[in-house]
Amino acid sequence: MKKPPLIWTNVSLFALTFLGAIILVPWYAMTYGFQTSEWVAFVVLLFASGMSITGGYHRLWSHRTYKAHASVRFLYALGGALAIQNSALHWSSDHRIHHKHVDNNDIDPYSAKKGFWYSHIGWMLREYQAHRYTDYKNVRDLQNDKIVMWQHKYYLPLMLLMNIGLPVFLGWLNGNILGMVLLAGLLRLVVSHHFTFFINSLAHIWGKQTYTDKNTARDNGFIALLTYGEGYHNFHHIFENDYRNGIKWWQYDPTKWMINIFAKVGLASQLRIVPQERIESAKLKMQLQKTQHKIAHLPNKEEVLAIIQAEYDIMKSHLLAYYEAKKTLLDAKKKQLVNKQLMLQVEHLKERWLQQKKNWRALTSLYV
């Protein structure tokens, strides 16, 4: 089959920036050396560009998981131009199609089933007609955002301003324009690109399917370190309307922390969270499926399957009872109708659920 023609603008951009980063940056480091201020600028701009994609392009505009003040959206628009990943409008359109048709090789713009190279960068290098969307029908809501449309209209000058003008200005302030351009401009751009691209490639290949096996998305804590919290990708693909990716307190998700800070100071609101019972139910269902798969080869599999299913049903009933009672308690608190009996009932159901959870873990650990 004849391959689609190359998009030479993209090929040139990725090739020249990558070659420049691996040749010019080491040469300059060995010949002149970089100053501390240049490394600080590298880190700051790396996070600014990366988290404008994760917090702005992704969680705000693509999935509408929260609302942000105009000042935050403006900074996201500038940071997105700094990242050079197209406008927020175009990026969000592609990403919504990815979620709607994930792993569909004919429709998903960066289907992981086509391999690491394709999902990482290959999809941007050729004119795949099925993946080119210019009408933006699926992002009509974003067309009402003046900042999104301003960035889309002036994307090219903004991109040049942020990727050339800003490093040159910082270099002028620092007294070393070339060093700043190479480190905070060139190397930062290449690292930022590939860290983001890992979400489309590695995060669909390497890790655990904690909540669903209906798609290729994986949870991987190491990838989260490189992608500002986006590595908990299996969770994200089943609960895409949640503003979090790392839901545990210990999971590295600086994008979530940033959004929380914005909310505390009044710059973000209406943070959307999936009910915990849905998360627990999805996780429990996957544990059941994995256990059933593991015991499929046992000679007494029917007997063991019956035991596992019975424990699962008990676990599920305790889970639903606890969260239903907890919801009732929260509603009562809002109406100031809390009584001691209701509080004791919720505490009892919680203890019963946690004990059953321990029993379930002990049982499934024998087979998984």
Q: List, for residues 96-146, the tens digit of each pLDDT value.
A: 999 999 999 889 999 999 999 999 999 999 887 655 656 799 999 999 999
According to the model, what pLDDT value does residue 368 have? 62
The pair of three-digit structure tokens given for residue 341, joined into one six-digit string: 């009996």
Is 80 exceeded by the pLDDT of residue 62? yes
Contact 69, 266 (CB under 8 A): yes
pLDDT, one tens digit per residue, over 181-229 is 999 999 999 999 999 999 999 999 999 999 999 999 999 999 999 999 9
Q: Where are the domains of the chain?
A: 8-269, 276-364
According to the model, what pLDDT value does residue 131 have? 56
Model confidence band, residue 302 (pLDDT cutoffs 50, 70, 90):
confident
How much is the pTM? 0.92
According to the model, what pLDDT value does residue 283 have? 93
Mean pLDDT across the chain: 93
pLDDT, one tens digit per residue, over 316-352 is 998 899 888 888 888 878 777 767 888 888 899 989 9
Contact 241, 225 (CB under 8 A): no
The pair of three-digit structure tokens given for residue 216, joined into one six-digit string: 């290729």
Please say whether the dihedral angle defined by the alpha carbons of residues 320, 325, 327 and 328, taken in this order, is positive or negative. Answer: positive
Contact 308, 284 (CB under 8 A): no
Mean pLDDT over 70-84 rounds to: 98
Model confidence band, residue 20 (pLDDT cutoffs 50, 70, 90):
very high
